[in-house]
Amino acid sequence: MSSPTGTVLLLGGTGKVGGRIAPLLKAANVPTLVASRSGNSPTGLPGVKFDWFDESTWEPVFASASSPPIGAVFLVAPLMSHPGAIMRKFIDLAVAKGAKRFVLLGASPITEGGPWMGDAQKYLRELGEQGKLSWSVLRPTWFQQNFTENAHGTFLKSESKLFSGTGNGKVPFVNAEDIAAVGFHALTSPQPPNTDYVILGPELLSYPDVAAIISAAVGRTIEYVELSEADLAARFAQWIDPEYAATLAAMDTDIKNGAENRTNDVVRTVTGKEPRSFRDFVEENKAAWI
């Protein structure tokens, strides 16, 4: 399979989603360049060093691609509260270097022009309307993998506790494999998507539901611990920028108020496969909490 736009550049190419798109591109024989801060590529695809906060790494990325040149870019925002300006600057560079398609990893709560990557989403649409590029935004809800690969996983294993500020709010937790499958389609489809995809899992679950499901799988009680938004923000701020921590904590309050209480058929429509269930994910990964 050849990409309709040339070599695909995966920013965050070793991350939760990019690291899962890479093998799909490799299997389809799509020319791919995996960008990361280390420059390493565990998939056997060519790797290149890229750091949002070191602009000297940007332009060499485009010189690293052999034939065909980079034509499609998978964008993952840097971990900062207001990345709009830096992302616009890189998008402009990529367009000047010949990139024609951009797929942005967004998030279901983040709408165009909103915080975090919302500005980049708005900018891509504007450039698309000017005929300068084609675009898509992946807007997944909260990842199933957050319970194995993030701080949640650490405390589930070490303390048998699940901390959140979501109350009984429901979330259609989605598997990163399904997000990657939609991303692969957006990067390689013959027709430009020029849309955003709200990517949701098949079942609505609260965090207390999650604690109960994991409890049953591992054979011990996982305690759900409800925190206030302020306490949750303070907890997150132990690991990440305080402003970003406050944004994440506010998203938990949004979940409590019903913001993620929805399902759709995007995964099935785009990929032809049913989204993976959370219970199947837990069964496949219960060793992470034992």
Q: Which two tokens stand for residue 104?
A: 């942005």
Residue ending a domain, among 140, 159, 186, is: 140
Q: Which two tokens stand for residue 221?
A: 């009680």
SS3 content of the chain, % helix, strand, coil (to 5): 40, 15, 40
- Compute the distance between CA of residue 8 and CA of residue 22 in angstroms, rounded to an integer: 9
Question: Does residue 74 sit in the same domain as residue 136?
Answer: yes
Give the model confidence (pLDDT) of 181-197 as tens digits. Answer: 999 999 999 999 999 99
- Compute the distance between CA of residue 232 and CA of residue 214 in angstroms, rounded to an integer: 22
Domain count, the chain: 2
- Compute the distance between CA of residue 161 and CA of residue 221 in angstroms, rounded to an integer: 9
Q: Looking at residue 75, which CATH number applies to its domain?
A: 3.40.50.720
Query: Which residue segment(s) compose the domain that 154 sits in?
Result: 146-170+202-262+276-289
Q: What is the pTM of this model?
A: 0.94
Residue 101 has pLDDT above 70, yes or no: yes
Question: Does residue 223 sit in the same domain as residue 109?
Answer: no
Question: Does 271 fall in a domain?
Answer: no
Question: Does 267 fall in a domain?
Answer: no
Give the model confidence (pLDDT) of 143-169 as tens digits. Answer: 999 999 877 888 899 999 999 999 999
Give the model confidence (pLDDT) of 33-88 as tens digits. Answer: 999 999 989 888 999 999 999 999 999 999 987 679 999 999 999 988 789 999 99
Give the model confidence (pLDDT) of 13-30 as tens digits. Answer: 999 999 999 999 999 999
Question: Does residue 113 sit in the same domain as residue 218?
Answer: no
Question: Does 21 fall in a domain?
Answer: yes
Question: Does 257 fall in a domain?
Answer: yes
Question: Does 244 fall in a domain?
Answer: yes
Q: Which two tokens stand for residue 230?
A: 């302020």
